[in-house]
Amino acid sequence: MPQRDQEIALLRGELEMLMNERQDILRVVGAAAALIACLDSKRLPVGAIEAADVVATSINCLSEETLQDALSAVNAAIEEDSEAA
């Protein structure tokens, strides 16, 4: 049993490390999403537009739930466009 207890402890530690890393990544993604949402692409240099496009495309690949978790991690919200104009 001590071997199994040690394996469980190692897995628990690994899981905790992964959860902490996920929180760090969510904070980075949330901050990037909030930044991208505020940018005015007409005022950015071409190189910055290309980089922003890469970030925006990556963020758009996330599930809605993951994006919401990321925004919550930085206490940000992106306003939803109203369908009625």
Q: pLDDT of 10-64, one tens digit each?
A: 999 999 999 999 999 999 999 999 999 999 989 999 889 999 999 999 999 999 9
Evaluate if residue 69 carries a pLDDT over 50.
yes
Whole-angstrom CA distances from 14 to 11, 20, 57 are 5, 10, 30
